[in-house]
Structure 1
Amino acid sequence: MGVSARLAWTLLALGTEAWNGHAAAFSPEAYTLALDFVHLVAAAVWSGGLVLLAAVWHRERPEAGRFAILFSKWALLSFLLLALTGALSTLQYLPTLSYLFETSWGTWLLIKVGLSLLVVVTAFLIRMRLRKGELPRSGLLKADLGLLGAIVLSVGVLTYQNPLPANEPISYHEMGTDMHVTLRITPGVPGDNAFTLKIWLPDSVGAPKKVALRLRPLGSGDVGFIDVPLEAYEDSELDDFPDFTKATFQSKGPYLAFRGRWEAQIRVTDSTDTEIVKSTTFRIY
């Protein structure tokens, strides 16, 4: 197999890997796939060259020195491309960098970044020896190979992680002497959701006169509460409490319009015109 054929096969394999990775799940697809492809090519050049350098170093030290001088330039370029494409991909995958601290994907990515910084230190020490006309020390090469193995492991784990935190149904329940309340929001995502609200008031008070569910995005400046229209419904769940009267309400609609932190406020007016206010906060991704 000629050089051109081997190169074409390699690029095809890397392109297939990019197509089957996280990049294909984000848009614009052409941009994310291109970033991932360049990232994989740079990784292949760096890792392949490093493994080859280690192999030659064990067999022919002078030849390893000449190859190291040539490879060091390509290694630097590859590493810069790895850093650039990795950063751009992360910015494209995550709406906010705070997600790095909220997912396993983010944790492993930070581990990978830490290992990469150690690679920079090791590469600098190797390059300093090459500038002096000396061969890289065995310990430095072994450290570089060890870091390569650790980075490959972290990449393997990242492949099976989701960059975005998973949304889950929101459930809030609070007991009290004056009122019990349950609020459920499903599926708990930006856009359409189903809202279920249950209120229990003491039998001495009876059914509520007025019930309101209000939603407010937090950290959005002057954006006020969004009123969720409620409709009473017959509930079949066996969740009655002794000496309390239950009232149930539901709604459906795009009242959680975007990701972020939200406050749900429940305002209940009983038959004596006493208003009880409960609130809870949650986050959707």
Structure 2
Amino acid sequence: MTVDLRGATDRSVRPARGRRARGPAAALGLLIGLFLVLLGPAAPASAHAALVGSDPASDTIVPDAPNKITLSFSESVQLISGKIQVLAPDGSRADQGEPQATGSTVVIPLRSGGGRGTYLVSYRVVSADSHPVAGSLTYSVGAASTPPTESAGAESVDPVVRALIPVGKYLGYAGLVLLVGPVLVLALLWPHRLSRTGPARLVWTGVGLVLGSTVLALWLQAPYTTGSGLFGVSGADLQDVLGSTFGAVMLVRLGVIIAAAFLLRPLLRGDGGESKADLALLGVLGVAALATWPLTGHPTASPVAGVSVVVDAIHLAAMAVWLGGLVMLVAFLLRQANERELGAILPIWSRWAATAVAALIIAGSVQALIEVASFKGLYASTYGRLILVKIGLAAVVIAMAAVSRNLVRSRTAENGPGRLRRIVMAELAVTAVVLGVTAALVQIPPPRTASAAESASTSTTISQTVADDSVSLQADIFPATVGNNSIHLYAYTLDNKPLPVVEWTATAALPAKNIEPIEVPLLRITDFHAVGDIALPMAGEWTFKFTVRTSDIDQSTLTMTAKIS
């Protein structure tokens, strides 16, 4: 409800004109000045998806050239035009046609008749949370060779672009604070006798910051995804961004904020021209605008995306209401409102603040549990440590909020408003730092993603090549752990040409544990490729012996050791 205090007494405490003018400037300066939080060394803009598998697998040797390559990621990805290629051993392009992305899988078609040797696959795609994912892998056909080289910097992000992205996000958060909270206070708590000129400037500043940060984000997304410099963006790059999910959400944000700006004018003038229908529509537009933030961040790639998006939107809304209300208090109400007006306003604001803080704690806790995934992730990762910093700062703010709430409940001391104003300013200072931590968090991969990347980079396949005077034998053992294992054998001549094998035999023994040789049943797949399965009962250095008969009179026996964990 609106606090209508037009009948306030003439004993209003009216500050000097100069002090009133400094109010909004001080509040805005408090938020903008804390950009220093972000102007130190920028955290790397790490990819938030991970390559979890490929076919052919990385660093493996396949007997025949495949007709496609499949890349599997930990979350859905979108393609970047011209940023996926496969190089043949001679450095020529081995891919043909356009790659296809379906969810978290990318399929790259290859030319037929690929030669023997090592191939290089390089990729750069955009993950579901709008961050680029770049990397490379190799596989070999027939035998390994010196891999081709790719152009330098394929996986890099321009340092200027990397530094500007969190600054742009901070601008957007600051804009939300100066927009959402002040609008609510003006609509429901602002005394009619007070001028709305100062608050209107804050609100229009918030509108400008949100619009500016959105346009900046659209521009930065092009060099961020392509790896180019800040001004190395082409029209096609911008068109690709606008046609992506990220671009669509940002365009929705621009449209919603512009529409809201038209509805805000009567409210900011204070001439009573705003209707309840306008205010209701303004609330709907506010909810729509808030939803665009989680739709371009971590929540969209969460294991429970629907929950994460809603929780993150609540978190942002609570933050904007709380901080925006504090800005209005410290910049205007505690300076300009008289005792009677504050007596009506502060108890209501105190309940708002308590509700916003509760929503922040609950929503933040749920989101942290989803992203951190484990207790270890809370202290063993940069993301988790920043969460702990954010929790510590939030605890300080909550303690200050409790003190201010007590002052509101028992405003008996003569210097109560002055003390309350100092506490509110301290709250704003600390929460502005929290805002900076939040802007940094969205650029750091959460532990659940880092865990997927670590699992993907850890391969337990053992691949060895043993040879004698006539045969070169490659043996692959997977997963090289206690229990069932698969063994693939490939026979080559000494000049790396497939060698037809008439008969294969293999045994596995663990001499250190007195385990005698166990026969490995082998199935012939091609003339030079055989596969077998064996259950290895214990860990240790196993000895594998392979006998390869290539004719009625030619036979080779080769031995290798492999550590089974």
* TM-score where L is the length of structure 1: 0.64
Query: How far has the Cα of 1:144 moved from its partner?
Result: 0.2
Instruction: Give the drift of 1:98.
Output: 1.8
Tell me the CA shift for residue 265 of structure 1: 5.8
State the shift of 1:94 in Å: 3.7
* Structure 2 counterpart of 1:38: 314
Residue of structure 1 equivalent to 2:440 = 157
Corresponding residue SS for 2:292: helix
Other-structure match for 2:172:
none
Judging changes above 3 Å, is the alpha-carbon distance between structure 1 residues 169 and 52 closer, same or farther for their aligned structure 2 residues?
Answer: closer
Alignment of 1:72-151 (within 5 A): 72-133=350-411, 134-135=416-417, 136-151=419-434
User: Which residue of the partner structure matches residue 487 of structure 2?
Assistant: 230
Q: Which residue of 1 aligns with 2:464?
A: 198
Match of 2:337 among 47, 53, 60: 60
Q: Kindly tell me: are residues 74 and 265 of structure 1, through their superposed partners in 2, closer, same or farther at Cα, counting changes over 3 Å?
A: farther
Distance in 2 between the 1:139 and 1:41 partners?
A: 25
Alpha carbons of structure 1 residues 196 and 52: separation in structure 2 relative to 1, 3 Å? same
Please state whether the residue corresponding to 2:392 is helix, strand or coil. Answer: helix
Q: Is the 8 A contact 1:14 1:40 kept in 2?
A: yes
SS of residue in 1 equivalent to 2:463: strand
For 1:68 and 1:14, how far apart are their aligned partners in 2?
A: 26
Is the 1:53–1:64 contact (alpha carbons within 8 Å) kept by the matching residues of 2? no
Cα gap change, 1:16/1:169 in structure 2, threshold over 3 Å: closer, same or farther?
A: closer
Unaligned runs of 5+ in 1: 171-186, 217-224, 236-250, 252-263, 281-285
Equivalent residue of 1:227, what SS? Answer: strand
Is the 2:308–2:367 Cα contact (8 Å) retained in structure 1? yes
Give the Cα separation in 2 of the matches to 1:64 and 1:30: 40
Deviations 1:139-163 (A, max 9, x none): 3122101111011111111111221
Query: 1:73 Cα shift?
Result: 0.8
Query: Which one of the candidate residues 435, 450, 457 is aligned to 1:188?
Result: 457
CA drift of 1:82 comes to 1.1
- Counterpart AA for 2:464: K
Q: Is the 8 A contact 2:542 2:562 kept in 1?
A: yes
Q: Give 1:42 deviation, angstroms.
A: 1.6
| Contact 1:103-1:165 at 8 Å conserved across structures | no
Aligned length: 224
Aligned-pair identity in percent equals: 21
Give the Å deviation of 1:119.
0.9
The residue number in structure 2 matching 1:173 is none
Q: 1:58 to 1:127 in 2, by over 3 A?
A: same
How big is the shift at 1:228?
2.8
Please list the CA deviations of residues 222-279 of structure 1 after superposition, one character each: whole Å capped at 9, or x if unmatched.
Answer: xxx33332224479xxxxxxxxxxxxxxx9xxxxxxxxxxxx86533689xx997747
CA RMSD of aligned residues (A): 3.8
Structure with bigger gyration radius: 2
What is the CA–CA distance in structure 2 between the aligned matches of 1:199 and 1:82, rounded to whole Å?
58
Aligned partner of 1:243 in structure 2 is: none
In structure 2, what is the equivalent of residue 246 of structure 1? none
Aligned to 2:543: 268
Deviations 1:91-121 (A, max 9, x none): 2334323212232221211111111101111
Structure 1 residues 265 and 25: alpha-carbon distance in aligned structure 2, compared to 1, 3 A threshold: farther
Aligned residue in 1 for 2:324? 48
> TM-score of the superposition, structure 2-length normalised?
0.34
| Partners of 2:301 and 2:316 in 1: CA distance | 17
Separation in 2 of the partners of 1:51 and 1:199?
69
